[in-house]
Amino acid sequence: MPLENFHPSAALSMGVELELQLVGEHDRDLASAAADLLELAGRRSFPGDIKPEMTDSMIEVATGIHERYPLLRAQLHAIRDALLEDAARLNVSLCGGGTHPFQQWHERRIFSAPRFQQLSGLYGYLAKQFTVFGQHVHIGMPDADSALRVLHALGRYLPHFIALSASSPFSQGSDTLFDSSRLNSVFAFPLSGRAPFVLDWARFEREYFVRMEDTGIVRSMKDFYWDIRPKPEFGTIELRVCDTPLTVDRAAQIAVYLQALCSLILAGEDPAPQEDDYLVYTYNRFQACRFGLEGLIVHPRGHAALPLRDDILGTLQRVLPHAERLGSHEALTALHDMVKRDGNDACRLRGVHARTGSLLAVVDAAVADFSR
């Protein structure tokens, strides 16, 4: 199957996908409720898209295409409210967070659908370990070459999104010491990582995609689990490194930060990407996963070490004019306050654990946050 044509979309339009946790009311462990929730959602006109995920304690929801922050946020709220209403009828709770703190991966059940069963056959236990919950953000691109340029320019900012959304400090009953332990589950997949450094769509297709296709390893872009990947059928680039935040408001804020950053890059206000930028990519990504906002990254140009928190605060300032034009400055102010004062969701969850000594209380807090 040849690479699909890149269908240009309205530049800087955006869509958000959230993978959510379904947890039991009585023990706060993951609950097998995806099929039941889908059945109930199917009975109403659901205010968004809803579909199953790899294991049956996960659900994925998606917004439509939006250009402005208030509408995106409003739809996320509507989706959240509909889900909570249906879940209450089924005695199930919903929450965000990149991992469930104490679920045991071997108890997960692969969702009963051919695609997931096939993936489970291929990936073995990796499939069940993939019961992690991420936020994906799509940003519309005017053409294919711009998509590749923005994609590679964003590589330098990837740690921002990891640190801002990080909400998976606990995994399998322990504190991992990572702010985002979820991404360690993603890195285990053979086709994870980053896109090859090609800035021209025709060359990308000819010199990379077709050759990979010839190897028989991939059939479509869906088979690549890259941190950022082009989505030709939507005409978007898709950022995939974020943990699902604890609140839908945070999810919307992160999406519009990406929108503003893409606007800045498309306007030519950021240096053009170079292949050598990737020398520090994996290290910086690790710093963001491990230490969150406390991470110490290396600037790809000049190689100066700089605190991730300062880099984010500086970038928020730089994109502010774009955010004002796009109507999302209020959201960036909230992110600014979080970075400067409150800390990310991983910080919040660790705080609950330190106070109570209980991972059940951590899930309780996540459930409460999701309805806020």
Partner 1 sequence: MIFEAGRMFALVGWPAVLLAAWLAGEIAHRGLGVPRVCAYSLAGIVYGSWGGMPDEPEAQAAFTFLANFSLGLFLFELGHRINLRWLVTNPWIAITGIVESLLTFFVVRGVALALGQPDDIAMVIGALSVATSPAALVRVVNDMRGSGQVTERALHLCAINCLLSVLLMKVAIGYWQLLASGSATVAVWNSLVIVAVSVGCGILVGLPLPRLLRLFRADETGVTIVFALAVMLVTLLTQGVNVSPLLAALTLGVLIRRRHHMLTPAQRNFGVLGDLLTVFLFVYVAGMAQWPSTASGLALAVLLSAGRIAAKMSATALFAHVSGTSTRKGALSGLALAPLSTFALLLLEYSRHAGFGLADGALAAIAGMMIVMEFIGPVCTQWALRLAGESRRKDMH
DSSP string spanning 178-191?
A: -SB-HHHHHHTSTT
* Binding of partner 1 by 264 (CB under 8 A): no
Instruction: Report if residue 54 touches partner 1, rule: CB under 8 A.
Output: no
Least Å distance, CB 29 to partner 1, is 8
- In the complex with partner 1, the residue whose CB is nearer, 173 or 314, is 173
Task: With both helix axes pointing from N to C terminus, report the angle between 308-326 and 281-291 in degrees, rounded to the nearest 10.
Answer: 90
Q: Does residue number 333 form part of the binding site for partner 1 (CB under 8 A)?
A: no
Count of CB atoms situated within 10 Å of the CB of 145: 16
Which residue from 321, 347, 361, 371 is in contact with partner 1, where contact means CB under 8 A? 361
Would you state the structure tokens that stand for residue 266, as one six-digit string?
A: 């498309």
Listed residue (168, 170, 22) closest to 102, CA to CA:
170
Distance CA 363, CA 21 (A): 10
- In angstroms, give the least distance from the CB of 109 to partner 1: 6
60 binds partner 1, rule: CB under 8 A: no
Tell me phi and psi for residue 269, to 5 degrees: -90, 5
Contact 237, 228 (CB under 8 A): yes
Does the footprint of partner 1 cover residue 33 (CB under 8 A)? Answer: yes
Distance CA 79, CA 60 (A): 11
Q: How far is CA 169 from the centre of its chain?
A: 16
User: Counting contacts by CB under 8 A, is residue 119 touching partner 1?
Assistant: no
Min dist CB 31 to partner 1, Å, is 5
Min dist CB 91 to partner 1, Å, is: 4
Distance between CA atoms of 310 and 167, rounded to whole angstroms? 20
Stretch touching partner 1 by CB under 8 A, among 66-74, 108-116, 134-142, 282-290: 108-116
81 touches partner 1 (CB under 8 A)? no
The correct pick among 32, 172, 192, 371 for binding partner 1 (CB under 8 A) is 32
- Options 8, 11, 24, 65; binder of partner 1; rule CB under 8 A: 24
Q: What is the DSSP letter of 244?
A: P
Using CB under 8 A as the binding rule, whether residue 250 contacts partner 1 is answered as no
Output 118 or 356, the one with its CB closest to partner 1.
Answer: 356
Q: How far is the CB of 5 from partner 1 (least distance, A)?
A: 40
Is 59 an interacting residue with respect to partner 1 (CB under 8 A)?
A: no
28 lies in the site for partner 1, by CB under 8 A: yes
Within 8 A by CB and 6+ apart from 176, the residues are 168, 169, 170, 184
Of the two residues 25 and 207, which places its CB atom closer to partner 1 in the complex? Answer: 25
The answer to whether residue 31 forms part of the interface with partner 1 (CB under 8 A) is yes
Q: Does 371 bind partner 1 (CB under 8 A)?
A: no
Q: Nearest 5 degrees, angle CA 206-CA 207-CA 212?
A: 95
Q: Does 364 bind partner 1 (CB under 8 A)?
A: yes
Spatial contact of 62 and 15, defined as CB atoms under 8 Å apart: yes
- Closest contact distance (angstroms) between CB of 127 and partner 1 is 12
Q: Does 91 help bind partner 1 (rule: CB under 8 A)?
A: yes
Please report whether residue 172 would count as binding partner 1 according to CB under 8 A.
no
183-218 burial: b if 16+ Cβ within 10 Å, else e:
bbbbeeeeeebbbebbbebeebbeeebeebbeeeee
Is the CB of residue 248 less than 8 Å from the CB of residue 20?
Answer: no
Q: Does 35 bind partner 1 (CB under 8 A)?
A: yes
Contact 94, 84 (CB under 8 A): yes
Q: Please state the closest distance from residue 77 (CB atom) to partner 1, in A.
A: 20
CA 248 to CA 366: how far, in whole Å? Answer: 12
> Counting contacts by CB under 8 A, is residue 90 touching partner 1?
yes
Entry field: residues in the chain:
372
Task: Using alpha carbons, select from 288, 201, 300 the residue that is nearest to residue 242.
Answer: 288
Residue 274, amino acid: Q
CB of 120 to partner 1, least distance (A): 10
Q: How far is the CB of 360 from partner 1 (least distance, A)?
A: 5
CB of 349 to partner 1, least distance (A): 16
Q: Which residues bind partner 1 (CB under 8 A)?
A: 24-33, 35-36, 39-40, 56, 86, 88-91, 107-109, 112, 356-358, 360-361, 364
